[in-house]
Structure 1
Amino acid sequence: MSRNDTAARTDPMRVGVVGVGAMGENHARVYSELQDQEVDLAGVVDRDAAVARRVAAEYGTTATDLETLLERCDAVSVAVPTPAHVETVTRCLEAGVDVLVEKPIAPTVEEGRQLARRASETGQVLQIGHIERFNPAVQTVADLIEDVEVIGIEAERLGPPVDRTARGNVVFDLMVHDVDIVASLLGSEPDSVTAMGTDDGQYATATLAYDDVVASLTASRVTQKKVRKLTVTAAECLLEVDYLQQSVLIHRDSYPAYLVDDGTRRYRHESVVERPRVDNGEPLRYELESFLEASRTGSEPEVTAEDGIRALETVQTIDSLVAEDEPAAEREVEAQ
């Protein structure tokens, strides 16, 4: 159903979810919670009919097929497995329906570009589900770094798998979040990339070099503690982000001091630590609200297809390096 005169829309926004596994079910939940914002969850689709019926019953909607859903909806979330992104998203766009597709945008960069072209041709909104962009702590840091000289960035995304029998790609599943965050903070693509991995690729590190900034990323499914942290080193301060706590610390004016205690001389560093206000909330809700606003107005989404392609290009480079057998020192390649 094509979007008509969205700026003057007064009736509820009709939305749906295609693929209601773990992530897709959360999309259905949040859409159902947005009824006070004139949002109507018109239906859900899943290849497992029993799962679709269960989720539909949970969130007060109906389970249906894709063709019927697209006839009902103005916008949909697509949370199907990545190999099905191209076919599913293309069908949605050609039906005149706006799409938020979970990351990565597509299995390959060329297929991602194909989807970007199709969205442009149909005039539909295509937003990529890089959810950490909408973490309130990240948005706070994005504002703060506008006034500082960034030197380096470190990101850690570590922990054991939720399902210990699953061994998905740690670069595509986890590191991609931080690849996108770094790109959005710096506003550019890396000049070069080095990477290595261990434990059958379940632990990976990458170093991304920009003009005067170095970003070091680590992702792991074999670390027995869940860690989601981002550290930005600037000439003026050090910014620490805890994704899980949605908190930001700013360290300034660090200086050494010598203390005498009971005749013993001790050395320590002291610094001023600031805690800027962070308006905490669920990143997925913020992401879907942003998508629906772009759909209502026909404006450019906050995370564009081009952003998704840029992240995919970088993680493909990292993944290819992690998979190689050569020594790490031989793996540096020019980023595409």
Structure 2
Amino acid sequence: MTKLKVGVAGAGVFGNYHAQKAAASVKTDLVGVYDIDLPRAKGIAEKFGAKGFDDYTAFLEACDAVVIAVPATWHEPLARQAIEAHRHVLCEKPLALTGAAARFLADEAAAHGRILQVGHQERFVAKAMGVLAIEETPLLLESVRAGPPAPDNRAGDVSVIWDLMIHDLDLAAMMLGNEFTGVSATGRRVHSEHIDEATAEFSYASGGVARLTASRAAPERQRSMHVVYPSGEISIDFLTRKVKNSTPYEIKVDIAAELPDPLGAADEGFYAACLGLARSPVPAHGTVGAVAMAEAAEADILAKIDA
């Protein structure tokens, strides 16, 4: 099998993780790591016998496929340039910061015959738990994803909506549909110039409602989901691994055997898709809905707090 030449853009924590996956896979050769800080790029690349780059054009020329793991504000321009260079792209979430831009990138990748995948690893978790196998449309989806501020101000270039809530926006779009009919959101700045706490409620043509809360200014971690279906309710505390389930569907929280490494599973799925061995597990067109929801929630909050 011809190996896929993979490069990783971004020499931060997630860039290091993705570099490890590419270096370890039997499907790929890690050929380079790009960062505007060349010593950082070299520091990761040279651990795996790859090359460090601070020239993005030269980096793209060395690769068949790239993983974009840079700050969110740079996802769209780097993905666009990679697609225009006819490279396959795995972009960490969010794909872009507007629904129009996300849709454009998805369309461009399709037009160029390239794979464009988005790093929504929570889909793999939800699938392994059995949540995505439920055929009923929820009447109500509630989620809380909160924690203290990151010590290194990770993802501090965007609001908590793009940083944390985007995971649950993507799940809501999958479970309730990409097209929402209304949004009402509240939020506040706490320790950054961006929104650090947010709650957004979305309504859908089905009559369903998604109520999502995210915070990076909470005193302690919280991660929970409550879903109401016509046949019953499911409540999951992801931290204590406790489940209450009155539906007829099986839900598992201990998925270590089925999914020991969600990031690795996502990356392997991307490599296989690039090599024509399988379909991408998270194609870009299916992630545009979450971007549109995030854009709408942030706009509603900013209109209120900046009025």
- TM over 0.5, shorter chain: yes
- Does residue 48 (structure 1) correspond to residue 37 (structure 2)? The answer is yes
Residue aligning to 2:149: 161
- 1:122-176 per-residue CA deviation (whole Å, 9 max, x = no partner) reads 1111112222112256652111x22x45221111110012227565411111111
**For 1:12 and 1:243, how far apart are their aligned partners in 2?**
37
2:151 partner amino acid? D
Q: 1:324 to 1:124 in 2, by over 3 A?
A: same
Residue aligning to 1:269: none
Residue aligning to 1:142: 132
**For 2:30 and 2:153, how far apart are their aligned partners in 1?**
33
1:63 partner amino acid? G
2:302 to 323, 331, 334: 323
Contact 1:250/1:275 (<8 A) preserved? no
1:57 partner amino acid? E
Contact 1:136/1:281 (<8 A) preserved? no
Which segments of structure 1 move beyond 4 Å, counting only runs of 4 or more?
A: 136-139, 164-168, 242-245, 273-277
Residue aligning to 1:203: 197
- Where in structure 2 are the equivalents of 1:53-132 lying within 5 Å? 53-64=42-53, 65-132=55-122
Q: 1:204 to 1:235 in 2, by over 3 A?
A: same
Identity %: 32
Q: Which ranges in structure 2 are unaligned for 5 or more consecutive residues? A: none
1:221 to 212, 216, 222: 216
Q: 1:288 to 1:325 in 2, by over 3 A?
A: same
Q: Cα RMSD over matched residues? A: 2.7
1:40 partner amino acid? D
| Structure 1 residue 244, shift from structure 2 partner | 5.3
Q: Which ranges in structure 1 are unaligned for 5 or more consecutive residues? A: 1-9, 254-272, 332-336
Q: 1:248 to 1:282 in 2, by over 3 A?
A: farther
Residue aligning to 1:12: 3
**For 2:141 and 2:221, how far apart are their aligned partners in 1?**
20
Contact 1:137/1:241 (<8 A) preserved? no
2:232 to 234, 237, 244: 237
Residue aligning to 2:23: 32
Contact 1:136/1:283 (<8 A) preserved? no
- 1:91-134 per-residue CA deviation (whole Å, 9 max, x = no partner) reads 22232210011222123333223322321221111112222112
| Structure 1 residue 239, shift from structure 2 partner | 2.1
| Structure 1 residue 298, shift from structure 2 partner | 7.5
2:51 partner amino acid? T
Q: 1:325 to 1:89 in 2, by over 3 A?
A: closer
Q: 1:51 to 1:191 in 2, by over 3 A?
A: same
Higher mean displacement: 93-102 or 43-52 = 93-102
Structure ID, larger Rg: 1
Q: 1:59 to 1:231 in 2, by over 3 A?
A: farther
**For 1:213 and 1:122, how far apart are their aligned partners in 2?**
37
| Structure 1 residue 229, shift from structure 2 partner | 2.0
1:54 partner amino acid? G
Contact 2:128/2:259 (<8 A) preserved? no
Q: 1:101 to 1:197 in 2, by over 3 A?
A: same
Contact 1:18/1:80 (<8 A) preserved? yes
Contact 1:239/1:248 (<8 A) preserved? no
Q: Equivalent residue of 1:232, what SS?
A: strand
The TM-score normalised by the length of structure 1 is 0.78
| Structure 1 residue 220, shift from structure 2 partner | 0.6
Contact 2:150/2:216 (<8 A) preserved? no
- 1:230-272 per-residue CA deviation (whole Å, 9 max, x = no partner) reads 2212233322344557x5735228xxxxxxxxxxxxxxxxxxx
